[in-house]
Amino acid sequence: MAQQDDVFKKIVSHAKEYGFVFPSSEIYDGLSAVYDYGQNGVELKNNIKRYWWDAMTLLHENIVGIDSAIFMHPTIWKASGHVDAFNDPLIDNRDSKKRYRADVLIEDHLAKFDEKIDKETAKAAKRFGEAFDREQFLATSPRVAEIKAKRDALHERFAKAMNDSNLEELRQIIIDQEIVCPISGTRNWTEVRQFNLMFRTEMGSTADGAMSVYLRPETAQGIFVNYLNVQKTGRMRIPFGIAQIGKAFRNEIVARQFIFRMREFEQMEMQFFVRPGEELKWFAQWKEWRLRWHKALGLGDDKYRYHDHDKLAHYANAATDIEFLMPFGFKEVEGIHSRTDFDLSQHEKFSGKKIQYFDPELNQSYTPYVIETSIGVDRMFLSVLCSSYEEEQLENGETRVVLHLPAPLAPVKCAVLPLVRKDGLPEKAREIVDELKFDFATHYEEKDAIGKRYRRQDAIGTPFCITVDHQTLEDNTVTLRERDSMAQTRVPVDSLHALIHDRVSLAALLRKLR
Ligand code: ATP
């Protein structure tokens, strides 16, 4: 774990050093859990968003996009339940004065049982050597059975406390399990309290007329309140979906792990409206489609898992997370929820407007049911960054830091490098840039030795470097260097476009989703 922490620290400093992510307001010592994306970060982020947007709106003729405002009528948040129930249970440690989410303390404690099982398994594997059968060991070891029983009992108690919003019971679990504050090491805990995560501000300037509004904590409600507009003006027929990408704000109690948990972040959400009774079929379908979208990036199929929810929100009848193996364990990147007709019905009730669909096939009106897919852009960014980062030992004894970013997501697709800064090579290199830049994000670099320039491009994940040398002037060929293999091939300048396009095109990635 300590080793993984080290890797994570290196990734965070790499992200800063190479212009991916900066702490916000850094010259004023930063603002907790708020980050800025730099010159390379914004490109990577835009490419992730484009991949998601195109996968939704180009590949599904029944999904359209919108861009709704961040400020919305405050009653929307009353209707959605956020004013009354968008809370996290918080607890303070009196000695360290640190604040925690009670549920997260317990979840982290639960994860320790699994770590214990892993340790027992590793010990047994060492003892039995080649003859070790992992499945059999897990099924028969009395020690493992004992740990599992304790974990399951705690899990059940925790799930019930969360479902009942029983704050005293959550505290009692923390006391009974002897969970200590990671900072002070003590068990001097306060009561558990509910804390609303929405940011509130004032809109309007007149003394009597200022209205309290919220910064939206999710983009989904902007979709629900535009359901009728889109359905009518787009003449959409059920089933159909509305997609949106935008900022969301949550006053997170404990913001940590870099851009994993931020107070200002970005979501990509899609609400898919279906016939009542068909929602679980569509839920299963979207579960599969979304995992396929993730896996097509090639970050490693074993890095994903589903985590089905025990605690269903009162309006949901199925929910799962897609978790990704971050350096700090499997963590939620995306949620897929079957939200029944809760949201549309609530908005119908609170707005007094009829929000229904007339189904011509059934000759009947109903409130559509909704499947939601909701993914955090920043968490997706983090998963791509973490799984791409490598400190590679080279045969010559050197180390290179390389980002094996999926080529269609890379901020820069190719860098054109004249071998020397004279003899007409820079001019020739510029000519090549001027051809390629219309289709690919192309860099021109002439400073430093060629090896150093390759390393700089490796560090930001550029899939291709194109080196222009004296031979280029004679036969119009260049050296094409590939990032991952470092293989160099001599190719005609005229073939560059096709060669690069093959690897970096988003369309090729999207085709994998068919
Ligand atoms: P968590 O349990 O981690 O707080 P959540 O279940 O509240 O997350 P959702 O409300 O389902 O999250 O939001 C959908 C997605 O938005 C999440 O899967 C995640 O990728 C992203 N997200 C939510 N909160 C944050 C945050 N504070 N910072 C960055 N991304 C976030």
User: For residue 210, what pLDDT is reported?
Assistant: 76
Bridge partner list, 444: 416
Q: Establish whether residue 88 lines the binding site of ligand 1, counting it when its CB lies within 6 angstroms of any ligand atom.
A: no
Cα-to-centroid distance, 265 and ligand 1 (Å): 9
CA of 405 to the centre of ligand 1 (A): 23
CATH number of the domain within which 25 lies: 3.30.930.10
pLDDT of amino acid 4 = 74
Distance CA 349, CA 382 (A): 39
Decide: pTM greater than 0.85: yes
> How many angstroms is it from 281 CA to the middle of ligand 1?
25
Angle, CA 370 vertex, CA 323 and CA 341 arms, to 5°: 125
Q: Which of 349, 377, 393 is the last residue of a domain?
A: 393
- Do 383 and 419 sit in the same domain of this protein? no
In angstroms, rounded to a whole number, what is the distance separating the alpha carbons of residues 344 and 180? Answer: 43
Which amino acid type is present at position 156?
E
Q: Of 393, 414, 432, which closes a domain? A: 393
> 243 with 345, same domain?
yes
CB of 217 within 6 A of ligand 1: the answer is no
Give the atom of ligand 1 at the shortest distance from the alpha carbon of 262: 28
Domain hosting 345: range is 1-72+212-393
- Residue 47 pairs with which residues in a beta bridge? none
Does the Cβ of 348 fall within 6 Å of ligand 1?
A: no
Using DSSP, state whether 132 is helix, strand or coil.
coil
Q: Is 399 exposed, middle or buried (0-12, 13-18, 19+ CB in 10 A)?
A: exposed
Tell me, yes or no, whether 388 and 433 share the same domain.
no
Please indicate whether residue 376, judged by its CB atom, sits closer than 6 Å to ligand 1: yes
At 50 the three-state DSSP class reads helix
Ligand 1: centre distance to CA 376 (Å): 6
Q: How many domains does the chain have?
A: 2
Joined together, the tokens standing for residue 282 give 């569509």
Handedness of CA 283, 285, 286, 288 (dihedral sign): positive
- Residue 142 located in a structural domain: no
366 and 293 within one domain: yes
Distance CA 328, CA 66 (A): 34
265 lines ligand 1 (CB under 6 A): yes
Tens-digit pLDDT profile for residues 10-53: 999 999 999 999 999 999 999 999 999 999 999 999 999 999 99
Residues 257 and 384 grouped into a single domain: yes
Q: What is the pLDDT along the chain (514 residues), one digit of tens a residue?
A: 567 778 999 999 999 999 999 999 999 999 999 999 999 999 999 999 999 999 999 999 999 999 999 999 999 999 999 998 898 999 999 999 999 999 999 999 999 999 999 999 999 999 888 888 988 999 999 999 999 999 999 999 998 998 888 999 999 999 999 999 999 999 999 999 999 999 999 988 766 667 889 999 999 999 999 999 999 999 999 999 999 999 999 999 877 789 999 999 999 999 999 999 999 999 999 999 999 999 999 999 999 999 998 767 778 899 999 999 999 999 999 999 999 999 999 999 999 999 999 999 999 999 999 999 999 999 999 999 999 999 999 888 889 999 999 999 999 999 999 999 999 999 999 999 999 999 999 999 999 999 999 999 999 999 999 999 999 999 999 999 999 999 999 999 999 999 999 999 999 999 999 8
> In Å, what is the CA distance from 272 to each residue of 97, 229, 306?
44, 15, 20
Checking 14-23 for CB contacts under 8 A at 24+ apart, the result is 14/389, 14/401, 14/459, 15/41, 15/258, 15/385, 18/459, 18/460, 19/460, 20/44, 20/385, 20/460, 21/258, 21/259
Residue 479 belongs to domain with CATH number: 3.40.50.800
On whether residue 80 sits in a domain, the answer given is: no
List the beta bridge partners of residue 390.
402
Q: Which protein residue has the closest C-alpha to ligand 1 atom 10?
A: 218
Identify whether the C-beta of residue 198 lies closer than 8 Å to the C-beta of residue 77.
yes
Residues 388 and 430 grouped into a single domain? no
Q: Are residues 244 and 341 in the same domain?
A: yes
DSSP 158-215: HHHHHHTT-HHHHHHHHHHTT---TTT----B---EEEE---EEEE--STTT-EEEEB
Q: Which two tokens stand for residue 414?
A: 């190719």
Task: Take atom 4 of ligand 1 and give the residue whose Cα is closest.
Answer: 261
Task: Kindly give the number of the ligand 1 atom that is closest to the alpha carbon of 331.
Answer: 3
365 and 307, same structural domain? Answer: yes
* Same structural domain, 264 and 321: yes
Mutation pick for ligand 1 pocket among 291, 307, 332, 377 (CB with most ligand atoms within 8 Å): 332
Residue 54 falls inside a structural domain: yes
Closest approach atom of ligand 1 to CA 377: 20
85 in any annotated domain: no
So what's the pLDDT on residue 5?
A: 78
Residue 126 belongs to some domain of the structure? no
Measure the CA–CA gap between 383 and 231, rounded to whole angstroms.
Answer: 35
CA 250–ligand 1 middle distance (angstroms):
9
417 and 358 both lie in a single domain: no
From 77, 374, 380, 383, mutation site for ligand 1 pocket: most ligand atoms within 8 A of C-beta: 374
Residue 172 lies in a domain: no
Q: Tokens 């309006």 — which residue? A: 315
3 state SS of 424: coil
354 and 436 share one domain: no
- What are the two backbone dihedrals, phi and then psi, of residue 314, each rounded to the nearest 5 degrees? -60, -25
Is residue 196 included in any domain, yes or no?
no
248 lines ligand 1 (CB under 6 A): no
* Protein residue with its CA nearest to atom 22 in ligand 1: 376
With a 6 Å cutoff on the Cβ, whether 269 touches ligand 1 is: no
Out of 377, 393, 409, a domain closes at: 393
378/505 same-domain check: no
307 C-alpha to center of ligand 1: Å? 14
Q: Is residue 133 part of a domain?
A: no
